[in-house]
Chain A
Amino acid sequence: MPVIDELFAKLRVSGRKAFMPFITAGDPDLEFTHQLLRELDILGCTLLELGIPYSDPIADGPVIQASYTRALKRQIALSDILDMTSQVTSEIKAPLVTMVSYAIVYRFGLERYVAAAKQAGVVGAIIPDLLIEEAGPMAEICRREDFSLIQLVTPTTPRDRAVRIAESSSGFLYYVSVTGITGERQQLPSGLVDEVSWLREQTDLPICIGFGISQPEHVRMLAPVADGLIVGSALVRRVAEAQEKDRAAVMGNICELASELLNAM
């Protein structure tokens, strides 16, 4: 059984929800990322999401774009990221998934990517720009390899399409809370809870909600309807401060926000 499936099965039995922080690999450098993943694991984060920097992240807002740009400026290579990941996954409890563009997966080779990621202890991939129409070969490889292929459903996804996406996904379904790109929002849309409830009736997959979540109130509102919550930009914005400020202080800052959100679950 894939690791993520086991994790959510356990969570369901104990009535708990997953909290999943997102951070960029290599921002400001891989040592920082390595350390931060360990800290987030110690805090009790259920799953960790590692963003593989990409030159053209069209689904991402300014915070994550800037973070990817900082990482790529240092000429960070996929092999360096996977080396760091191999190390960190042997030290942490929480399973780790990558957010990765299909441009990268395709260039690397589908089979080769899944093999290399598994080798590095990664248990799944979120591929935001992989269309359902083109997802067949990747879904097949992931199924065969017990590697989760996490796909996205948005508020504008037609309902029949959402059902098809759920059918070719594994691990969990990533529900995008807003119509738009990643980034913190003051308010989340009002129809969100209903939409997720509808989706839940269509699939047995756990549903995790991401995009725009940055405050404890968001967490309190969404945790009851979801199986897990994903927080990215709010944390990555704090990582950006590691450019100038003292690293230990920045790390403390990030962990403070993460635990505040975690406690609101």
Chain B
Amino acid sequence: MGKSRVIAETGAGQHGVATATACARFGLPCVVYMGAEDVRRQAPNVYSMKLLGAEVRSVTSGSQTLRDAINEAMRDWMSSVQNTHYILGSVVGPHPFPRIVRDFQSVIGSEARQQCQERFGRLPNQVVACVGGGSNAAGMFYPFIKDQDVELIGVEAGGQSSRPGEHAAPLTFGRPGVLHGSYSFVMQDDDGQTSDVRSISAGLDYPGVGPEHSYWKDSGRVTYTQCPDKTALQAFDALARNEGILPALESSHAVAQAMTLAAEQPDDHIVLVCLSGRGDKDAAEITRLREEQEQHARD
């Protein structure tokens, strides 16, 4: 490509850390755009990025979350495209980003599919993944798309309620529109202005979703649902205490849905859950939220 600089945006910080890691390995300067609110709530990943030598630019415009980080990264790229490669972190944005990201992410889906066959001699009955922009879900679902017997379930961020502005679930509550160079389900007002969204999880806190998810929703191949903040936190606790795994808050949405689904099924039913991220990054924020709640309860 001949590019000498790399930029990325990040919500939860996972993609930022991954990009910073690759840049450190190859000696490339790396700038990561991150909403100021996400810099705060995903601090451990900010430390990691900085330790890996990346520059983290805190974005203070708009809602100071993933959407604004994407805006800033795109603005940077418009001025720097001659020497800079933009590694977009989700299956969103203009073509061919959604396809590039899906194809790279689909390593996890292909491996999971193969491992299921090796371990169980068959494919899973259901596959569950969380959906913000939808990269981990696209990567997990894509290798199963042709396996018509495998039910695919995407879980959006239900936030605090179904009221506008209190969730981040465009496939559940939004409608088709244009955002960041693609046509997909989006949270917008009647004038086409992007609506504010909200989720406890930085990686799901985005008003749009990858266009291929919109296609899968419309074609009926994937079922999309949403999980409230509270339920995601309960799933986080359940996985931490019963399995010794700290899931990312994003992935906790998928875990919650998987627990609900599995409870209704016979023992030999296989549910594959995409544990897209580790929860170490969320430990401090969850503790803070809990203390705030306890304080609230005492008052």
Contact = CB atoms under 8 A, between A and B. Distances in A.
Asked if A and B bind, the verdict is yes
Interface string A166-193: 0000000000001111000000000000
Interface residues of B, number: 24
A171 to B, nearest CB: 22
Interface in A69-89: 69, 72, 77-78
A65 B192 contact: no
Given A103-B178, A179-B82, A108 B191 contact: yes
Given A58-B75, A129-B178, A181-B75, A156 B194 contact: no
B8 to A, nearest CB: 16
Nearest to A130: B178
Contacts of B75: 58-61, 181
Contacts of A56: 62, 67, 71, 179-180, 194
A181 B78 contact: yes
B100 to A, nearest CB: 17
B62 A179 contact: no
Contacts of B62: 55-56, 69
A60 B71 CA distance: 10
Contact of A55 (B74, B78, B80, B193): B193
A102 B81 CA distance: 23
A3 B286 CA distance: 60
A106 interface: yes
Contacts of B194: 55-56, 103
B193 to A, nearest CB: 4
Contacts of B82: 156, 179
Given A102-B178, A106-B177, A59 B78 contact: yes
A150 to B, nearest CB: 18
A103 B81 contact: no
Contacts of B42: none
B192 A106 contact: yes
B61 A65 contact: yes
Interface residues of A, number: 28
Contact of B191 (A61, A65, A77, A134): A77
A55 B81 CA distance: 24
A154 to B, nearest CB: 8
Q: Is the interface of A mostly helix, strand, loop or mixed?
A: loop
B192 A103 contact: yes
A107 B94 contact: no
Interface in B193-207: 193-194
A208 to B, nearest CB: 19
A264 interface: no
A129 B191 contact: no
B192 A107 contact: yes
A249 B181 CA distance: 40
B190 interface: yes
B79 interface: yes
A179 B94 CA distance: 18
Interface in B43-61: 61
Contacts of B177: 103, 106-107
Given A77-B191, A103-B188, A104-B191, A58 B180 contact: yes
B178 A106 contact: yes
A179 B81 contact: yes
A108 B192 contact: yes
Interface of B: 61-62, 67, 71, 74-75, 78-82, 94, 177-181, 183, 188, 190-194
24 contacts: A54-B192, A54-B193, A56-B194, A58-B71, A58-B75, A61-B75, A65-B61, A78-B192, A101-B178, A102-B178, A103-B178, A104-B192, A105-B192, A106-B177, A106-B183, A107-B191, A107-B192, A129-B181, A131-B181, A134-B183, A156-B81, A156-B82, A178-B79, A181-B78
